[in-house]
Structure 1
């Protein structure tokens, strides 16, 4: 049954909190102080109408915003939005009892997302292509995605639909990841399962008709018509199909700028959770780098790009699971700086080793303020001081926030 409530505050996921007839409810796409009519669905509620709007409410630019679960904040005016994101980070650090100067948030959306993942589903035998609705597996069909890079935003849904139509056999749920590269679209399809040999030729033909750079199924490359290269600093990298990539080109440049500036005086740098080298290849313009990453395909791509790029200092690579086998203190002590860019779970095992090391500088890059605070707290307890924190808004229109923290410790100089 519908009821009218007043929104008290916003949480870290952008949902508003209100007191409903049966207790607290969480409402999407609202603002503090608004009076809204909602239909409770357990602890969450579906927004029916905004009865008294906040002066901070803006007009969403995407026609799919009300139904789509991809964006959460287009209804916020820009100034309010930036202040809210900045406060998420400040609140998280306060909760962890960490004090450090927080720089103004950097808008790193640039031209938009360079990768999207569209869902292809067949709930009623008809094909539906788009994103999922909030807290639902229902597909919101889209003809374009305005937060993606030019070209990608218009062509991605059509590519996903063509691939869905091409699939033979049972109508399985598909996830079609499309990345815009220097040489065209790199597409990885998941959910279908391995292709039969007889079907591979038809997919090679499909990649030609769609003019894709590369087409893969579950990371298995069906055809590479052109190397799907990504520019990282001066180097051109061809990452493995479906591997990690920073969400926007500008976001990668901004994050790498903070990392390289902090490490400018370091002779030897360890780049941990290095991926295909967005930091390593830029750091190597001034420093020797040891890049560690679990995925062997990524380390191979990084090594190949390094060898093909003149003027870089030496980069060595190591394929290693840093969650289970973090670099130990004797290994860490060989470096003047360590860069960390772990997945959302953070790098707890690795920072525990760093906390008892003699490394003078740690640059922590994180896509989750909570795990950033946890890991920074371990380093601070080990003697590091958090000099400054830089929030980077790479995932614009979402609750996600990138964080870069600069941590230093005083290390006694050896006597000659």
Structure 2
């Protein structure tokens, strides 16, 4: 049988041998065999293991598709993720100081989407298997926060009430200061009896809020998140950083990047993750496409004490980016776009001449593209801070500081 030597890890964490041949769950330096299916190696067997191979901490790892890198030692993953950032920037000709990566601890994810399916005997809850639609129960998941494990029992109850036999529910559970915040997709159409049963479950299970699709079925208490001095109840399904550690790491980097700025614009502001902590030192204008997230942020700001003025604007920054004149009288910009990056907005931002930019990204490739635009327009990329809050996955977050030359 043909042997393959793994040369490197790809963007999705698969080992890559010459060819290229993609071998899941392998590491650089390993010699492996398997059945070649196109360019993918199936039924992989490790002939010579890497000294960076470790025993996965979770007993569900081999079947569950929630994590892809538990077989790799932490130093290897940290170096690989840092190298991904460096290589993306190098491909654009951008050079900078890349700081050591900050990694969230195990059992720290504060949001998870469980699959929940009705069975003849009750219900199954967990995650889908690797590369399949098979549901794998994961009662000992090492990724999510301990309080989220209670969400599995909630998802099981919800499946019994509102799942069809054909489709699994997608039950997103988020921790908050006041209890679990639950949102359900793919459920049965709501009717009177189902609404009543779901509202009763919200009371008996004592979670903060339950949304069925776009409709809030019950809210015992607002599901509050702490953003600096303010407490905010984001709308169901609103963006939230994956871990408290990751949020704190990104926020610290953003604060460093904007320095002592007194007037800040926060682009793609969400519900105020950065806006409200920054309002302790500066006036902030928050711009976000989702009006309901801005409304939640505004309520939190109005109830908080000691914060400077926060204004907001609902605006689609992909179709209507802020123009250079709109940055006048501001000292710094924070920008935190989704995975697609902010190509159109970055072009306009590059013309603004604003002194400092704190750039947060969850995609090194689109970040590097936008960094090149700023570099060409006269901005120095001073440093990049990688953050690994999606532990054991290929996802990479980062924050960076740009300064006008």
What is the CA distance between 1:137 and its match in structure 2? 2.1
Q: Which residue of 1 aligns with 2:264?
A: 269
Higher relative contact order (CA 8 A, sep 6+): 2
How large is the RMSD of aligned CA atoms in angstroms?
1.9
Question: Aligned with 2:98: secondary structure?
Answer: coil
Alpha-carbon distance in 2 for matches of 1:219, 1:389: 37
Query: Could you tell me which of 363, 372, 391 is aligned with 1:396?
Result: 391
Structure 1: distance between partners of 2:163 and 2:126:
20
Q: Assess if the C-alpha contact under 8 Å between 1:108 and 1:254 holds in 2.
A: no
Give yes or no for contact 2:8–2:15 (8 Å, CA) kept in 1.
yes
How many pairs were matched up? Answer: 405
| Secondary structure at the counterpart of residue 392 of structure 1 | strand
In the other structure, the counterpart of 2:14 is 15
User: For structure 1, which runs of at least 5 residues remain unmatched after alignment?
Assistant: 411-416
Q: Does the Cα contact within 8 Å between 1:284 and 1:312 map onto a contact in 2?
A: yes
CA distance in 2, matches of 1:126, 1:27: 37
Aligned to 1:218: 213
Which position in structure 2 is the counterpart of 1:39?
A: 35
Q: What is the rounded CA distance, in whole Å, between the counterparts of 1:110 and 1:144 in structure 2?
A: 12
For residue 348 of structure 2, what is the aligned residue in structure 1? 353
Which residue does 2:371 correspond to in 1?
376
For 1:243 and 1:299, the matched residues in 2 are separated by 11
Q: What is the distance in 2 between the residues matched to 1:197 and 1:48?
A: 52
Give ranges in structure 2 of 5+ residues lacking alignment: none
Write the mapping of 1:117-266 to structure 2, written as runs, cut at 5 A: 117-121=113-117, 127-152=123-148, 154-167=149-162, 171-192=166-187, 194-266=189-261
In structure 1, C-alpha distance between the alignment counterparts of 2:44 and 2:260, rounded to whole Å: 56
SS of residue in 1 equivalent to 2:320: coil
1:320 aligns with 2:324: no
Q: Report the TM-score when normalising by structure 1.
A: 0.93
Matched, 1:288 2:288: no
1:125, distance to aligned residue in structure 2 (A): 10
Q: Distance in 1 between matches of 2:41 and 2:167?
A: 31
Q: Is the contact made by 2:266 and 2:333 (CA closer than 8 Å) also made in structure 1?
A: yes
Quick one: which of 13, 17, 21 aligns to 1:25?
Answer: 21
Asked whether 1:104 is paired with 2:100, we answer yes
